[in-house]
Structure 1
Amino acid sequence: MVRLHELSLGDTFEDLLVEVYQLEGVDPASKPRDPVYSALVRDPSSYCRLIYRANNNCKPSNVKRGKFYRISGRVSSYRGRMQIQIGSSWGRVEKVNGEE
Protein backbone atom coordinates (compact mmCIF):
# COMPACT_ATOMS: atom_id res chain seq x y z
CA MET A 1 0.00 0.00 0.00
CA VAL A 2 1.28 3.47 -0.92
CA ARG A 3 2.01 6.02 1.83
CA LEU A 4 1.98 9.83 1.56
CA HIS A 5 5.73 10.15 2.11
CA GLU A 6 6.36 7.91 -0.93
CA LEU A 7 4.50 10.18 -3.37
CA SER A 8 6.32 12.54 -5.75
CA LEU A 9 5.18 15.37 -8.01
CA GLY A 10 3.35 13.98 -11.03
CA ASP A 11 2.63 10.57 -9.50
CA THR A 12 -0.77 8.99 -9.96
CA PHE A 13 -1.95 6.57 -7.31
CA GLU A 14 -4.86 4.35 -6.31
CA ASP A 15 -6.30 3.25 -3.00
CA LEU A 16 -4.35 5.52 -0.65
CA LEU A 17 -5.89 5.25 2.84
CA VAL A 18 -5.99 8.66 4.58
CA GLU A 19 -7.71 10.30 7.53
CA VAL A 20 -9.24 13.77 7.18
CA TYR A 21 -7.31 15.86 9.69
CA GLN A 22 -8.75 19.30 8.96
CA LEU A 23 -11.48 20.55 6.62
CA GLU A 24 -10.59 23.82 4.88
CA GLY A 25 -13.75 24.36 2.81
CA VAL A 26 -13.83 26.07 -0.58
CA ASP A 27 -10.41 26.92 -1.99
CA PRO A 28 -10.32 30.73 -2.46
CA ALA A 29 -8.43 30.29 -5.76
CA SER A 30 -11.27 28.25 -7.31
CA LYS A 31 -13.94 29.59 -9.66
CA PRO A 32 -17.30 30.40 -8.02
CA ARG A 33 -19.24 28.32 -10.57
CA ASP A 34 -16.91 25.32 -10.19
CA PRO A 35 -15.80 25.35 -6.54
CA VAL A 36 -12.84 23.29 -5.44
CA TYR A 37 -12.69 22.08 -1.85
CA SER A 38 -9.60 21.39 0.23
CA ALA A 39 -8.77 19.42 3.34
CA LEU A 40 -5.64 18.33 5.14
CA VAL A 41 -5.30 14.56 5.18
CA ARG A 42 -2.81 12.31 6.90
CA ASP A 43 -1.60 8.77 7.17
CA PRO A 44 0.99 7.32 9.59
CA SER A 45 3.82 8.74 7.45
CA SER A 46 2.85 12.36 6.68
CA TYR A 47 0.27 15.10 6.03
CA CYS A 48 -0.85 16.53 2.69
CA ARG A 49 -3.47 18.88 1.24
CA LEU A 50 -6.29 17.17 -0.65
CA ILE A 51 -8.02 19.14 -3.42
CA TYR A 52 -11.36 17.78 -4.65
CA ARG A 53 -14.53 18.74 -6.48
CA ALA A 54 -18.02 17.78 -5.46
CA ASN A 55 -19.63 14.98 -7.44
CA ASN A 56 -22.13 12.19 -6.86
CA ASN A 57 -19.52 10.04 -5.09
CA CYS A 58 -18.04 12.80 -2.95
CA LYS A 59 -20.32 15.41 -1.42
CA PRO A 60 -18.39 17.99 0.64
CA SER A 61 -21.06 17.89 3.36
CA ASN A 62 -20.34 14.17 3.81
CA VAL A 63 -16.55 14.53 4.14
CA LYS A 64 -15.97 14.48 7.90
CA ARG A 65 -12.98 15.25 10.09
CA GLY A 66 -11.49 12.14 11.70
CA LYS A 67 -13.00 9.74 9.15
CA PHE A 68 -10.94 7.49 6.88
CA TYR A 69 -11.19 7.52 3.09
CA ARG A 70 -9.57 5.52 0.32
CA ILE A 71 -8.55 7.97 -2.42
CA SER A 72 -7.15 7.79 -5.93
CA GLY A 73 -5.76 10.72 -7.89
CA ARG A 74 -2.53 12.49 -8.76
CA VAL A 75 0.11 14.58 -7.05
CA SER A 76 0.54 18.22 -8.07
CA SER A 77 2.08 21.37 -6.66
CA TYR A 78 0.62 24.74 -5.69
CA ARG A 79 2.82 27.61 -4.52
CA GLY A 80 5.65 25.18 -3.92
CA ARG A 81 3.63 22.79 -1.75
CA MET A 82 2.63 19.27 -2.65
CA GLN A 83 -1.06 18.53 -2.90
CA ILE A 84 -3.22 15.61 -3.98
CA GLN A 85 -5.87 16.27 -6.61
CA ILE A 86 -9.06 14.36 -7.12
CA GLY A 87 -10.50 15.52 -10.47
CA SER A 88 -14.10 15.63 -11.55
CA SER A 89 -13.53 13.07 -14.31
CA TRP A 90 -10.60 11.16 -12.80
CA GLY A 91 -9.68 10.01 -9.33
CA ARG A 92 -12.09 9.15 -6.55
CA VAL A 93 -12.84 9.31 -2.86
CA GLU A 94 -14.33 6.28 -1.14
CA LYS A 95 -15.59 6.15 2.45
CA VAL A 96 -13.91 3.40 4.44
CA ASN A 97 -15.61 3.38 7.82
CA GLY A 98 -19.32 3.73 7.51
CA GLU A 99 -21.96 5.71 5.70
CA GLU A 100 -21.58 6.53 1.99
Structure 2
Amino acid sequence: MALKGNKDDFKFNKDNCKVLYLGKHNPGLQHRLGSTGLGSSSVEKDLGDLVDKLKMSEQCAAAAKKANRMLGCINKGITSRDKDIVIPLYSALVRPHLE
Protein backbone atom coordinates (compact mmCIF):
# COMPACT_ATOMS: atom_id res chain seq x y z
CA MET A 1 0.00 0.00 0.00
CA ALA A 2 1.46 3.33 -1.01
CA LEU A 3 1.22 6.45 1.12
CA LYS A 4 -0.56 9.35 -0.51
CA GLY A 5 0.77 12.87 -0.31
CA ASN A 6 3.67 14.98 -1.46
CA LYS A 7 7.21 14.11 -0.53
CA ASP A 8 7.30 17.42 1.38
CA ASP A 9 4.56 16.16 3.73
CA PHE A 10 6.94 13.67 5.38
CA LYS A 11 9.75 15.53 7.14
CA PHE A 12 12.84 13.60 8.19
CA ASN A 13 14.81 15.10 11.07
CA LYS A 14 18.50 14.35 10.51
CA ASP A 15 19.41 15.92 13.86
CA ASN A 16 17.64 13.10 15.72
CA CYS A 17 19.65 10.36 13.97
CA LYS A 18 22.54 8.67 15.76
CA VAL A 19 24.86 5.78 15.00
CA LEU A 20 24.99 2.88 17.46
CA TYR A 21 28.24 0.98 16.98
CA LEU A 22 27.95 -2.77 17.55
CA GLY A 23 30.71 -5.36 17.82
CA LYS A 24 34.19 -5.39 19.28
CA HIS A 25 36.14 -4.57 16.14
CA ASN A 26 34.02 -1.73 14.77
CA PRO A 27 36.29 1.12 13.60
CA GLY A 28 33.80 3.80 14.73
CA LEU A 29 33.85 5.79 11.49
CA GLN A 30 32.16 9.18 11.19
CA HIS A 31 28.92 8.75 9.23
CA ARG A 32 27.03 11.43 7.33
CA LEU A 33 23.48 11.71 6.12
CA GLY A 34 23.66 14.15 3.23
CA SER A 35 25.64 17.10 4.52
CA THR A 36 24.78 16.46 8.18
CA GLY A 37 27.25 14.53 10.33
CA LEU A 38 25.67 11.89 12.55
CA GLY A 39 26.59 11.65 16.21
CA SER A 40 27.32 8.36 17.90
CA SER A 41 25.71 6.82 20.95
CA SER A 42 26.62 3.97 23.28
CA VAL A 43 23.02 3.17 24.21
CA GLU A 44 19.63 3.93 22.64
CA LYS A 45 16.04 3.25 23.60
CA ASP A 46 14.02 1.20 21.11
CA LEU A 47 10.38 0.36 21.84
CA GLY A 48 11.00 1.01 25.51
CA ASP A 49 14.05 -1.26 25.75
CA LEU A 50 17.62 -0.05 26.04
CA VAL A 51 19.88 -1.34 23.27
CA ASP A 52 23.49 -1.43 24.42
CA LYS A 53 25.71 -3.43 22.08
CA LEU A 54 23.24 -6.28 22.49
CA LYS A 55 23.96 -6.60 26.23
CA MET A 56 21.10 -7.09 28.62
CA SER A 57 22.91 -5.93 31.77
CA GLU A 58 21.94 -2.27 31.46
CA GLN A 59 18.35 -3.15 30.51
CA CYS A 60 18.01 -5.47 33.52
CA ALA A 61 19.52 -2.91 35.88
CA ALA A 62 17.13 -0.21 34.63
CA ALA A 63 14.11 -2.53 35.04
CA ALA A 64 15.17 -3.53 38.57
CA LYS A 65 15.72 0.12 39.53
CA LYS A 66 12.26 1.07 38.27
CA ALA A 67 10.66 -1.89 40.09
CA ASN A 68 12.43 -0.98 43.34
CA ARG A 69 11.22 2.61 43.04
CA MET A 70 7.64 1.41 42.63
CA LEU A 71 8.01 -0.94 45.60
CA GLY A 72 9.33 1.96 47.68
CA CYS A 73 6.31 4.07 46.72
CA ILE A 74 4.00 1.26 47.82
CA ASN A 75 5.83 0.86 51.14
CA LYS A 76 5.76 4.61 51.87
CA GLY A 77 2.24 5.28 50.65
CA ILE A 78 0.34 2.31 52.04
CA THR A 79 0.23 1.85 55.80
CA SER A 80 -1.69 -1.44 55.65
CA ARG A 81 0.23 -4.67 55.15
CA ASP A 82 -2.92 -6.64 54.37
CA LYS A 83 -2.40 -9.21 51.61
CA ASP A 84 -5.63 -8.15 49.89
CA ILE A 85 -4.17 -4.66 49.39
CA VAL A 86 -0.43 -5.24 48.86
CA ILE A 87 -0.57 -8.16 46.39
CA PRO A 88 -2.76 -6.39 43.79
CA LEU A 89 -0.58 -3.28 44.04
CA TYR A 90 2.59 -5.35 43.60
CA SER A 91 1.04 -7.26 40.68
CA ALA A 92 -0.05 -4.07 38.94
CA LEU A 93 2.88 -1.75 39.65
CA VAL A 94 6.06 -3.75 40.35
CA ARG A 95 5.77 -7.09 38.56
CA PRO A 96 5.35 -5.69 35.00
CA HIS A 97 8.77 -4.00 35.25
CA LEU A 98 10.39 -7.29 36.23
CA GLU A 99 8.74 -9.32 33.50
Same fold (TM over 0.5): no
With the shorter chain as reference, the TM-score category is under 0.3
Larger radius of gyration: 2
Between Structure 1 and Structure 2, which shows a larger proportion of helix residues? 2
- Greater RCO between the two (CA within 8 Å, min separation 6)? 1
Structure 1 length normalisation: TM-score?
0.20
Structure 2 length normalisation: TM-score?
0.20
